[in-house]
Amino acid sequence: MPLKHAKTKKWTYILAVLFTLHTVSTIGLMYNQDYFMYGIDLGIVVLFAILIYKMLIVKDSYAINLEQEILNHKETYAELEANRIKLQNIFDSIDVAIWSHNLKTNKLLITSGIEKLYGYPLQAFYDDSELWKKVIHPDDDEIIIKRGIAIQNGQITTSEYRIMKPNGEIRWIQDRGIPFLDANNELIDFNSILIDITERKRAEITIEHMAYYDELTGLPNRNGFMQTIEKQLKEADLQDQNLALMYVDLDRFNVLNDTLGHSFGDLLLQKVAELLKVTVGFYGTVFRRSGDEFLILLTFKEISEIKQKAEQIIQAFTKPFKLSGQEVFTTPSIGISIYPENGSDSETLLKRADSALYLAKEKGRNTYQFFTEQRDGKMERRLTLEHGLRRALTNNEFFLVYQPLVHIGNKKILGVEALLRWNKEDEGMISPAEFIPIAEETGMILPIGEWVLREACLQGLSWHEQGFSDLLISVNISVRQLLEESFIERVESILSETEFPPTSLELEITESTTMQNMEEALPILNALRAKGIRISVDDFGTGYSSLTYLRHLPVDTLKIDKMFIDDILTDSKAGAIVKTIIDMGHNLDFYVIAEGIETGEQINFLVEQGCIYGQGYHLYKPLHADELQRQLHKNVVMT
């Protein structure tokens, strides 16, 4: 446009010059009428006509360009309007609002998205510019105060707070405030972008709950415990308080879980969690560490308070838990460590409470014990063995030895008992009396027991293939294995895999633990016996078996416990008990085997009482497979 105006101005100047020349030539003709002057005047007229023509063309071109430019402006405006509408639709469709406030002119601009976020009409915010602040949750007022200070200082700040909508619903808002200050650092303009982040907050709360709370019981979990104890240790130092940590473990829970099923086990854990919360009350916090293990943190003034609370917990477990109409009993063992006497950090306190817990179990369970320094070494030893057990199978540290079962009269080997041994890589042989209880408590007995059964069956098959087809292989089974849901299937699978005949396998169960779970064990034993597998009751006489149960048990063999055999020559009562067991076993058509025979005099006594089967070091010590094979060739008639 400026260029076109410049051209028009140029033609005007030319026109003025020509008009001036024409006027001068006309005046000249008035005084001198010759052909030269006529020629000049005519030329000027022609140039004037040409100039007029050119101006008309330029004018038309200018009109056309102006029309095009107006059209372009209209198209640009239409495009801008379409973009504005599109942007408005986007703002209206998402949970976002924009708030812009010019403090100098007091001009306020709010997008319609605020209606969806806050639940109030747009006009309400124009009528009351403080409405957004009035609906903020009272618990978040501190956030708004800090936000206001930052804004006044010109800091871009992002805040998250809750608002209450008119219907009572609480929503989370993310508010990003962008302030503008003048040269005097005075706030003159302020913009804010508001977003509904309620769903994100709910997801964060869910994730945090999963991270710090146990899904089954709703109690704080191990992460929650670590977070809480670190906080309470600092508070205890500041307030000069004492802190107690109770480590609670349910006695025989694994047996109950395997017997009743995991769903019942979960129900029991939920009931126990609720009972502990009610019993502890406001005096402490209950956590679920893992499995059937719980932790309790309590502050106290006198140690008697902790003793009283431990006794209350034990007393609370005397009543049965009702699970789907069934009454179930369980008892707690409790280990206690004290801060700061037993440790200055959470890891030490937890370790020493665990040590005290195992002392409580050694004391007969269903009791509590405080940590003592004397227990620390024993706990270290136990943890070392537990850690080693978890690697022993992978490292091939286990092996089997076989102790013969002998006919006392002719010294012939009728069968062998497979005995587990552990050659720990960093310290050598470990006594079974030391590691078997740990394996049972930790559940490691399940994979270990399965390995023992498979190895014994493979070795038994090898001996059968060499001609000793009547040789009986006896394997010890813990009650934990027996009551596992899939135990029968596991036994069948191993027999099928090794091709070892069921009639040549004898499973030994201990009297004491089996009698405590007779109702659950009886159908399993019957199913095993129906498959041709022999059943033997080990350590008989120590569990005070009910004769009614014994009469119905699908048992083939009773093994008299070594503790009675040891004293049969010096204690008349022990001799009488052994004679009674032998007579009872024969009357019930059981084979009776005396365990732990160490002298010829013991053999003579047993033979006199009618016991013709025995096992012990006086007859044979436990032998490696190759050593036993040589003995088999010496005294067993091959078939």
| Residue 423 near residue 397, CB atoms below 8 Å | yes
∠ CA 388-389-394, nearest 5°, is 90
- Residue 209 inside a domain? The answer is no
Whether residues 254 and 339 fall in one domain: yes
Model pLDDT, residue 112 = 83
Alpha-helical (H) ranges within 94-197 are: 113-118, 122-127, 131-134, 141-152
Where b means 16+ CB within 10 Å and e means fewer, 74-85 reads: eeeeeeeeeeee
DSSP annotation of 550 reads H
Nearest-Å Rg of the Cα atoms of the chain is: 49
Alpha-helical (H) ranges within 240-372 are: 253-260, 262-280, 303-316, 346-362
- Residue 381 inside a domain? The answer is no
- Token pair recorded at residue 100: 């812009």
Whether residues 195 and 266 fall in one domain: no
Q: Which amino acid is at 158?
A: T
Provide mean pLDDT across the span 325-348: 89
Q: Is the confidence at residue 36, as pLDDT, over 90? A: no
Neighbours of 214 (CB within 10 A): 21
CA pair distance 260, 519, nearest whole angstrom: 11
Higher pLDDT, 498 or 9: 498
Tell me: the pLDDT tens digits for 506-559? Answer: 999 887 666 667 778 888 999 999 999 999 988 776 654 555 567 777 889 988
**Nearest C-alpha neighbor of 440 from the set 401, 481, 400, 399:** 481
- Residue 207 inside a domain? The answer is no
Report for 41-55, 159-173, 317-331: range of highest mean pLDDT: 159-173
Contact partners, residue 102, CB within 8 Å, separation at least 6: 108, 188, 189
Neighbours of 120 (CB within 10 A): 17
Tell me the CATH number at 303. Answer: 3.30.70.270
- Residue 383 inside a domain? The answer is no
Q: Is the confidence at residue 638, as pLDDT, over 50? A: no
Whether residues 332 and 479 fall in one domain: no
- The pTM assigned to this predicted structure is 0.54
Q: Identify the band that residue 587 occupies on the pLDDT scale cut at 50, 70 and 90.
A: confident
Q: Is the confidence at residue 472, as pLDDT, over 90? A: yes
Task: Tell me whether residue 547 is exposed, middle or buried, using C-beta atoms within 10 angstroms of its C-beta: 0 to 12, 13 to 18, 19 or more.
Answer: exposed
Question: How far separated are the first and last CA of the chain, in Å rounded?
Answer: 123
Q: Report CA 284 to chain centroid distance, whole Å.
A: 24
Tell me: the pLDDT tens digits for 197-242? Answer: 888 888 888 877 788 898 899 999 998 999 999 999 988 888 878 8
| Residue 420 near residue 400, CB atoms below 8 Å | yes
- Residue 208 inside a domain? The answer is no
**Nearest C-alpha neighbor of 585 from the set 525, 616, 545, 532:** 545
Whether residues 8 and 133 fall in one domain: no
- Residue 550 inside a domain? The answer is yes
Q: Taking the C-alpha atoms of 9, 14, 15 and 19 in order, what is their torsion angle to the nearest 10 degrees? A: 140
Model pLDDT, residue 369 = 93
- Residue 440 inside a domain? The answer is yes
Q: Is the confidence at residue 636, as pLDDT, over 60? A: no
Provide mean pLDDT across the span 554-571: 86
Whether residues 81 and 98 fall in one domain: no
Provide mean pLDDT across the span 32-55: 61
Whether residues 586 and 536 fall in one domain: yes
Tell me: the pLDDT tens digits for 107-160? Answer: 888 888 888 889 999 899 989 988 988 999 999 999 999 999 999 999 999 999
Q: Is the confidence at residue 1, as pLDDT, over 60? A: no
Model pLDDT, residue 463 = 94
Model pLDDT, residue 418 = 96
Neighbours of 411 (CB within 10 A): 12
Q: Taking the C-alpha atoms of 111, 113, 114 and 118 in order, what is their torsion angle to the nearest 10 degrees? A: 170
Tell me: the pLDDT tens digits for 52-100? Answer: 666 656 555 555 666 677 777 777 777 777 776 776 676 666 668 888 8
Provide mean pLDDT across the span 289-316: 93
CA pair distance 339, 233, nearest whole angstrom: 8
Alpha-helical (H) ranges within 339-397 are: 346-362, 373-392
Whether residues 73 and 170 fall in one domain: no
CA pair distance 207, 153, nearest whole angstrom: 35
**Count of domains forming the chain:** 4
- The length of the chain, given as a count of residues: 639
Provide mean pLDDT across the span 355-381: 82
Average pLDDT, the chain: 84
Q: Is the confidence at residue 453, as pLDDT, over 90? A: yes
Tell me: the pLDDT tens digits for 145-192? Answer: 999 999 999 999 999 999 999 999 999 999 999 999 988 888 989 899
Q: Is the confidence at residue 485, as pLDDT, over 90? A: no
Whether residues 301 and 435 fall in one domain: no
Tell me the CATH number at 612. Answer: 3.20.20.450
Model pLDDT, residue 363 = 83
Report for 72-76, 121-125, 451-455, 585-589: range of highest mean pLDDT: 451-455
Whether residues 343 and 443 fall in one domain: no
Residue after which a domain boundary falls, among 181, 202, 223: 202
Contact partners, residue 34, CB within 8 Å, separation at least 6: none
C-alpha atoms less than 13 angstroms from C-alpha of 489 in its C-beta half-sphere: 3
Domain limits at 103? 94-202
Model pLDDT, residue 4 = 47
- Residue 482 inside a domain? The answer is yes
